[in-house]
Structure 1
Amino acid sequence: MNTTKYVLSLCRLFVMMLTLGQGIHLLPVPTDIPMCTASETAQYSLTFTGKWSQAAFPKQYPVYRPPAQWSNLIGVTHSSDYHMWQRNEFASNGVREFTEKGEAWTLMKEVETAGERIQSVYGILSAPAVVGGTGQMNTQFEVFARHSYLSFIVRIIPSPDWFVGMDGIDLCDGDHWKESVSLELFPYDAGTDSGFTFSSPNFETIPQDKITQITSSYPSHPANSFFYPRLKHLPPIAKVTITKVKKSNQILSMPVEPTQSNQLPTGNEIEDKLINTPLDCEVSVWSPWGLCKGKCGDSGMQHRTRYIIMHPANSGVVCPLLEEERKCFPDNCL
C-alpha cells in the first residue's frame, strides 16, 4: 500500500511538473536579442580624445603634482556575457587597482581568466597614455561575430578612483559591421575611494560602493571637484571614435606608438576650447566681529572678514566684499 501511495505521489508530482512546464512555455520568448551573423572579421581604429581642459573644468583643475592627464587605455573585445566594469555594480579588484593606482596587472589577470574559463574574451588592446588633459591616443584591433563587443577603461589622473570608459558597445549590426561609432565620455566613480577632489589623499570606502556616474550635482557636496550646481549637465570630459578600416594582410593588434603629434592640438581640441564652464566665486563664512576700536564714551568701529575659497572663472559670479564694518560702543571702559 505504501508503495502504491508513493507511485501515486510521483505521478501527481510529474503531472504538476508538466503543468508548470506548459505554463513556462506559454511565456513570451524574447526575440530582440541582437545576434551578429557577420561572416568575416573586422578591423577597427580607435581614437581617444581628452577634453579635460581648464576652460571646461575650471574648478580645482590640476596644473601640477601631477597635472591633468590620462592613463593608458586598456580594452577587450568580448561576447555579450562579459563585463569589464558595469555602472551600478561593484568594481572588481582589478578595476580598483587600476583606477586608484594605475596598476593593471590584476585587471589583466581577470581578463585572461574570463577568456580561459568561459571563452568570452577574444583580444586585449591598449593605447599609450596622454600627457595632458587634452590630446589623443590611438590603437587598432580586430573583432569577429562571436566577440563583437568592445569595452575599455582609462584612468583620470590625478583622482581618487575616477575613470572614463565604455561597457560593452556592440560593433556588429546584424550581418554587417558598423562603419563608425562615436561617443562622448563622462567621469565615473569606482566606489572604492571616498576622496572628493582630484588630489585627495587615499581614503578607502568601507563598505565598497557601486560604480556611479559623476554629474554636475552628484556627489552633492561643494568640495567635489566636478560640482557645478549651475550646470544641468557636465560637458563631456573625453570622446572616443571607432572607425572600421579596410582589411589588409597584416593584423594590427599592437597599440600605435605615441608620437609628437599626440601632444599637438587637433581640430577637435581647438573646438573644445570654446567650452567655457562658468565657475562662481566661493568665500568662507564671516569671522567673528573684532574689538570695538574707539574712545570711551564715543562710538567706535569694529570689523569682520572672510576669505576667497574659489576664484571665479569664465564669467562666473564675482566675489562679494571680503570685509565689513559697523559702529559700536567700547564695552571695556573703566
Structure 2
Amino acid sequence: MPRSLHRLGLWPAMLGLAACTNTSPAEQPPAPTVGPALYRVTFEATWSADTHANFPAGAHFSAVIGASHRADGLLFRPGQLASTGIRDMAERGNNTALRAEITALVSSGAAFRMLEGRVINSPGMVADTIRLDAAHPRLSLVTMIAPSPDWFAAVEDENLLDANGQWVAQRRVPARAYDAGTDSGPSFTAPDQATLPAGVVAPLRLPPATGSAPDGPPLGTWLLERIK
C-alpha cells in the first residue's frame, strides 16, 4: 500500500466505505407482495324440498352483498350483535344500511371493494366478480334466506391467500346458515317477533329433508375462482 494513503489516514476510511456498501440482512428491502386479484364469485343455491325440511313456498335468496377486506373489516362475527345493516338484510332482504356500512369500511381502508348482486330463486345460481389485494385478501358475503325471520347464508371472513402468500386458484365454501339474533320467529313464515334484547349472531341448523345431519346440510356452495 502506498505510504501516502497511510499518512493521510485514507486507508481506514476506504475500509469503512466498503463496509457501508454491504447491506446487512436486516436492512434488505421487503419481499414484493402479490398484486391485486380478480375473483368470480358464484353462489350455487341448492336449498330445496329435497335438501331441507319445511321448505317454504316462494323460497329465494336476497341480493348477495359483501366486500373484500382486512381482518378488521368484518361485516359480522358470530357471538356478537348484528349491525343495523346485517339486521335489515337478514330480516327484510334490504341492503341499504349494509351498503352504507360497507362504504364506510372502504372509506376507512378496512375494506377494498364491494360486491352486490341480485335476488335469486332457490335452487338457482348467480355470479359476480370482486377485486382483492394483498392488504385486503379476505372475503365476506351475505344473503337473506327468504322467507325467514332473520336467517341468512354467508361466506364468513374467507382468506384467499394461501400459506405461501399466493392467491388460491379456486375454493369451494359451503353456504351455511346463520341467525342474526334479532327476530325470535321459529319457522320460515312465522310473523315478526322482535328479540328484546337482541341476541348475538349464531350458526343456525336447518333440519335436513330426510335423515339427520349434525350440522344440517348446506344451503348451497360459494365457488370462488381467480380469473385475473
Normalised to the residue count of structure 2, the TM-score between the two structures is 0.81
Give the Cα separation in 2 of the matches to 1:207 and 1:74.
26
Q: Which residue of 2 aligns with 1:44?
A: 39
Does the 8 Å CA contact 1:38/1:172 hold for their aligned counterparts? no
Shift of 1:51: 1.1
Q: In the alignment, does 2:188 pair up with 1:198? A: yes
Task: Please state how far the C-alpha of 1:84 moved relative to its aligned partner.
Answer: 0.3
TM-score, length of structure 1 as denominator length: 0.56
**Distance (whole Å) between structure 2 residues aligned to residue 227 and residue 208 of structure 1:** 30
1:21-170 to structure 2, matched below 5 A, reads 38-59=33-54, 61-63=55-57, 67-117=58-108, 119-131=109-121, 133-170=122-159
> Could you tell me how far apart the structure 1 residues matched to 2:32 and 2:69 are?
15
Instruction: Name 2:198's counterpart in structure 1.
Output: 208
Check conservation: 1:214, 1:226, Cα contact below 8 A.
Answer: no
SS in 1 for 2:41: strand
Match of 1:236 in 2: 218
- Which has the higher relative contact order, 1 or 2, with Cα contacts under 8 A spaced 6 or more apart? 2
RMSD across aligned C-alpha pairs, in angstroms?
2.0
TM alignment of 1:220-299, pairs within 5 A: 230-245=212-227, 247=228
Q: Can you give the 5+ residue segments of structure 2 that lack an aligned partner in the other structure? A: 1-30
1:171 maps to 160
Q: 1: distance between equivalents of 2:43 and 2:32? A: 28
Larger radius of gyration: 1
CA distances 1:295-331 after superposition (whole Å, capped 9, x unpaired): xxxxxxxxxxxxxxxxxxxxxxxxxxxxxxxxxxxxx
State whether residues 37 and 176 of structure 1, in contact with CA within 8 Å, keep that contact through their aligned partners in structure 2.
Answer: no
Change (3 A) 1:95 1:129: same
Partner letter of residue 203 of structure 1?
A: Q
CA shift, 1:86, in A, is 0.9
Q: CA deviation at 1:214?
A: 1.3
Q: Confirm or deny: 8 A CA contact 1:151 1:167 kept in the other structure.
A: yes
CA distance 1:138–1:204, change in 2 (3 Å): same
Distance 1:86 1:149, change over 3 A: same
Q: Please report how far the alpha carbon of residue 202 of structure 1 lies from its aligned counterpart in structure 2 after TM superposition.
A: 0.7
Deviation at 1:227, TM superposition (A): 9.9
Q: Give, as a single letter, the amino acid of the residue that structure 2 aligns with 1:38.
A: T
Identical positions, percent: 26
Listed one character per residue, the Cα deviations across residues 148-196 of structure 1 (whole Å, up to 9, x for unaligned) are 1110101101000000101211111233211111111221100000000
- 1:166 counterpart letter in structure 2: V
After superposing on structure 2, the runs of 4+ consecutive aligned residues of structure 1 that deviate more than 4 Å are 225-230
Deviation, structure 1 residue 115 = 2.3
Query: What's the CA shift for 1:231?
Result: 3.7
Letter aligned with residue 206 of structure 1: L
Q: Secondary structure at the match of 2:91?
A: helix
The change in CA–CA distance for 1:56 and 1:144 in structure 2 (over 3 A counts) is: same
